[in-house]
Amino acid sequence: MEAMLQPVADLFGPAWPLVWTLVKIIAIIAPLMICVAYLTLAERKVIGYMQVRIGPNRVGPKGLLQPIADGVKLLLKEIVIPSGSSKGLFIVGPILALAPSLVAWAVVPFDDGLVLADVNAGLLFLLAVTSLEVYGVVVAGWASNSKYPFLGSMRAAAQMVSYEVSMGFALICVLLISASLNLSDIVVSQSSGRFADMGLGFLSWNWLPLLPMFVVYLISGIAETNRAPFDVVEGEAEVVAGHMVEYSGMTFALFFLAEYANMILVSILTSVLFLGGWLSPFGFLPDGFHWLALKTAAILFIFLWVRATFPRFRYDHIMRLGWKVFIPVTLVWVVVVAVWMMSPLSIWS
Amino acid sequence: MEFKTFVFYFLAVILVFAALRVITARNPVHAALYLVLAFFNASGIWLLLQAEFLAITLVMVYVGAVMVLFLFVVMMLDINLDRLRQGFWSYLPVGSLIGVLMAVEMAMVLGGRYFGLDAMPAPPDPQAGYSNTRELGRVLYTDYVYPFELASLVLLVAMVAAVALTLRKRKGTKYINPSEQVAVKREGRVELVKMPAEKD
């Protein structure tokens, strides 16, 4: 690979590292955007079949071109900026919503050594970047200068800050047992253990010893991305569409992209942190990126499944679940894991 | 100019601009957002110093949590600028004293060689594989464990005090208890009554 690229590298001279990084970024973002587009179709199809409908089937064979048609439609629509809005922030809002959900992909390891930025503090970086996602919603809600967006953004701020705490504690458990903040190291640390020696790798992954944290992380992830049943931020019956009420065309599409990119991000992170990333579940099968893709797809399916199954939580129930259930559970489990690690029964040595 | 120097000046210029806008912006929400920008650039400068743990924690704690709550409050307030200006002259002496103190401190840091600051050598260049996080954790939980525990205790007390100060129970509210609601069973809500069919 290096030798093959040498002529191209010579062409760009000293700017080559920059160009090469840009190429890698595009190699991550472009497939991601396609995944986002087809996730919307998958969502409509899956929910359709769960509700005994067929879902979109008109545009292209079996409705496969539907996301493209939607994208073109949103691109061509006029962007309406309300006259009473804070214009600069009104445009900045959607950008702030999408940017963190793309930035976080920099540290996601796709395979052994296949990562854009192999930083030591990867997990911390992720925590920091995902905590920025709330700004897009809050800024958009405020800049719209309208009641429903404002209420929606207030809800978003409270909800995302609350669930970040329990998410953070779940991640602390993960970094405790893998003794590293580097995401690749976290995956590698899941490849050894008693069950992995028996060829049953999937029992050595973090989800089993950290089962409560796995559940908390997944549910907090759904709450962080403001997905059903935690989508009070944009609950139609209460606040119309929350922060997105005043947005149209491409600015609306950015919020949409951000939401789905975040869903994929949370799913891939759950796979990396708890389900062994690119590791294969059985000893006799080779590891590889396809396992990560499979695990991510399975968790994404759970996202859609949950949306089709559960009614929307009432707002105070969301707050209760976050503060009175998850935070005590995670706090206790951090101590339990720490004591377990120090005890003779420790399985991580 | 070295690339690193360029990055430093780039971040520093935005940082100073954002900090200025924090105190000059008329709209408090804009001021809070400029403060977010200032934090961001400060964390970038810390990254240049290879203090990645501190840099990321700055973003995580201040930008991700503190400023969100700040914005939350500021957005809800109806701030009247004329009312805020009222105490300007009476606060001026205290404010200028603090300003002068900060200016002196900055001058001492920047003109370090006149004050003997170079007696404190710069930290050695970190080796490859050096982890700022690990190093900080080791120092914090071994050499400085008592001051660290003390600081966290102070924070805990402050937290409890903040809750205690703002906690008040209003009487006669129709407050609903979600815990009880969640525990509700069908039997408690629905009663099936058998009625004979009415005939004429």
Residues A122 and A181 sit within 8 Å (Cβ to Cβ)? yes
Q: Write down the pLDDT at residue A297.
A: 92
Q: A160: which chain B residues are within 8 Å (Cβ-Cβ)? A: 68
Encoded tokens for B118: 């170079």
**Is residue A242 over pLDDT 90?**
no
- CA dist., res. A172 & res. A177, Å (int): 9
Q: Taking all residues of chain A, what is their mean pLDDT, rounded to a whole number? A: 85
In Å, how far is B3's CA from the nearest CA of chain A?
Answer: 12
Torsion of the alpha carbons at A319, A320, A321 and A327, rounded to the nearest 10? 90
**Range with lowest mean pLDDT among A112-121, A123-132, B42-51, B119-128:** B119-128
- Taking the mean position of all CA atoms in its chain, how far away is CA B152? 16
Q: Write down the pLDDT at residue B129.
A: 65
The CATH number of whichever domain residue B47 belongs to comes to 1.20.120.1200
Mean pLDDT of the A209-233 span? 86
Cβ contact (<8 Å) for B57 and A125?
Answer: no
Cβ contact (<8 Å) for A157 and B53?
Answer: no
Q: Write down the pLDDT at residue A268.
A: 92
Question: How many domains does one find in chain B?
Answer: 2
Query: Domain end: A50, A76, A102, which one?
Result: A76
Domain holding A53, by residue range, is: 1-76
Count of Cβ atoms closer than 10 Å to residue B30 Cβ: 17
Nearest CA in chain A to B175: A316
DSSP letter for A312, please. P
Global pTM reads 0.85
Q: Write down the pLDDT at residue B180.
A: 81
CA-based radius of gyration for chain A: 21
Q: Which of A204, A174, A187 is nearest to A289 (CA)?
A: A187
Cβ contact (<8 Å) for A157 and B182?
Answer: no
Task: Compare A4 and B42 and report the one with higher pLDDT.
Answer: B42
**B191: in domain:** no
Q: B176: which chain A residues are within 8 Å (Cβ-Cβ)? A: 316
Among residues 85-104 of chain A, which lie with CB inside 8 Å of chain B?
A: 86, 89
Whether residues A245 and A304 fall in one domain: yes
Cβ contact (<8 Å) for A181 and B33?
Answer: no
Whether omega for the bond prior to residue B121 falls within 30 degrees of 0, making it cis, is no
Whether residues A15 and A103 fall in one domain: no
Whether residues A68 and A95 fall in one domain: no
Q: Which of A170, A189, A173 is nearest to A130 (CA)?
A: A170
**Range with lowest mean pLDDT among A325-329, A332-336, B20-24, B129-133:** B129-133
Q: Write down the pLDDT at residue A227.
A: 83
For chain B, list residues whose CB is within 8 angstroms of any CB belonging to chain A.
Answer: 27, 29-30, 33, 36, 52-53, 56-57, 59-60, 63-65, 68-69, 71-72, 75-76, 131-133, 176, 178-179, 181-182
**B193: in domain:** no
Q: A124: which chain B residues are within 8 Å (Cβ-Cβ)? A: 52-53, 56-57, 60, 133
In Å, how far is A89's CA from the nearest CA of chain B?
Answer: 9
**Is residue A301 over pLDDT 90?**
yes
Q: Which of A138, A168, A129 is nearest to A265 (CA)?
A: A129
- CA dist., res. B184 & res. A325, Å (int): 18
Q: Write down the pLDDT at residue A322.
A: 87
Alpha carbon separation from A219 to A92, A242, A258, A321, B97 (Å, rounded): 29, 21, 19, 10, 51
- Indicate which of B30, B57, B132, B133 best probes the interface with A, i.e. most A CBs within 10 Å of its own CB: B133
**Range with lowest mean pLDDT among A24-38, A119-133, B141-155:** A119-133
Encoded tokens for A149: 């967006």
Q: What are phi and psi of B124, to 5 degrees?
A: -65, 155
pLDDT in tens, A165-214: 888 888 888 888 888 888 888 888 888 777 777 777 778 888 888 888 89
Whether residues A302 and A186 fall in one domain: yes
- CA dist., res. B17 & res. A315, Å (int): 39
Whether residues B75 and B10 fall in one domain: yes
Cβ contact (<8 Å) for A131 and B60?
Answer: yes
- CA dist., res. A150 & res. A243, Å (int): 7
Of these ranges, A106-115, A173-182, A301-310, the one predicted with the greatest mean pLDDT is A301-310
- Indicate which of B39, B40, B59 best probes the interface with A, i.e. most A CBs within 10 Å of its own CB: B59
Q: Write down the pLDDT at residue A1.
A: 63
**B52: in domain:** yes
Q: B181: which chain A residues are within 8 Å (Cβ-Cβ)? A: 317
In Å, how far is B132's CA from the nearest CA of chain A?
Answer: 9
Query: Domain end: B46, B79, B112, which one?
Result: B79
Give the SS3 label for residue B178: helix
Whether residues B67 and B135 fall in one domain: no
Q: Write down the pLDDT at residue B100.
A: 95
Whether residues A111 and A41 fall in one domain: no
Cβ contact (<8 Å) for B75 and A150?
Answer: yes
Q: What are the respective helix, strand and coil percentages of chain A, to the nearest 5? A: 70, 0, 30
Cβ contact (<8 Å) for A132 and B63?
Answer: yes
What interhelical angle do B67-76 and A133-143 show, nearest 10?
Answer: 10
**A348: in domain:** no
Whether residues A293 and A215 fall in one domain: yes
Long-range contacts of range A292-301, CB-CB < 8 Å, 24 or more positions apart? A292/A110, A292/A111, A292/A268, A295/A271, A296/A264, A296/A267, A296/A268, A296/A271, A297/A267, A299/A218, A299/A266, A299/A267, A299/A270, A299/A271, A299/A275, A300/A39, A300/A42, A300/A263, A300/A264, A300/A267, A301/A46
**A316: in domain:** yes
**B172: in domain:** no
Cβ contact (<8 Å) for B52 and A121?
Answer: yes
Cβ contact (<8 Å) for B71 and A138?
Answer: yes
Q: A320: which chain B residues are within 8 Å (Cβ-Cβ)? A: 178-179
Whether residues B75 and B135 fall in one domain: no
Mean pLDDT of the A237-265 span? 85
Q: Write down the pLDDT at residue B113.
A: 74
Whether residues A70 and A112 fall in one domain: no
Whether residues A90 and A193 fall in one domain: yes
Percent of chain A surpassing pLDDT 90:
14
**B1: in domain:** yes
Whether residues A241 and A308 fall in one domain: yes
**A293: in domain:** yes
- CA dist., res. A120 & res. B130, Å (int): 9
Q: Write down the pLDDT at residue A127.
A: 86
Q: A129: which chain B residues are within 8 Å (Cβ-Cβ)? A: 59
Q: Which of A132, A197, A188, A191 is nearest to B65 (CA)?
A: A132
**B149: in domain:** yes
Cβ contact (<8 Å) for B68 and A157?
Answer: yes
**Is residue A318 over pLDDT 80?**
yes
**B188: in domain:** no
Whether residues A53 and A129 fall in one domain: no
Whether residues A272 and A129 fall in one domain: yes
**Complex ipTM:** 0.81
Cβ contact (<8 Å) for B63 and A131?
Answer: yes
Alpha carbon separation from A235 to A113, A226, B55, B144 (Å, rounded): 41, 10, 36, 49
**A349: in domain:** no
What interhelical angle do A66-76 and A249-274 show, nearest 10?
Answer: 140
A2 pLDDT tier (thresholds 50, 70, 90):
low
**B86: in domain:** no
- Using a 10 angstrom Cβ sphere, with 0-12 exposed, 13-18 middle and 19 or more buried, the burial of residue B58 is buried
Cβ contact (<8 Å) for A121 and B29?
Answer: no
- CA dist., res. B69 & res. B162, Å (int): 15
Q: Write down the pLDDT at residue A298.
A: 93
**Is residue A333 over pLDDT 80?**
yes
Cβ contact (<8 Å) for A154 and B65?
Answer: no
Q: Write down the pLDDT at residue A113.
A: 77
**A13: in domain:** yes
pLDDT in tens, B92-128: 899 899 999 999 988 888 887 777 766 666 666 666 6
**Is residue A272 over pLDDT 70?**
yes
| pLDDT < 70 positions in chain B | 1, 79-81, 84, 117-129
Cβ contact (<8 Å) for B33 and A161?
Answer: no
Q: Is the dihedral of CA B32, B33, B36, B40 positive or negative?
A: negative
Side-chain half-sphere exposure of A72, counting CA atoms within 13 A: 5
Whether residues A188 and A274 fall in one domain: yes
Question: How many domains does one find in chain A?
Answer: 2
Task: Compare A8 and A329 and report the one with higher pLDDT.
Answer: A329
Domain holding B54, by residue range, is: 1-79
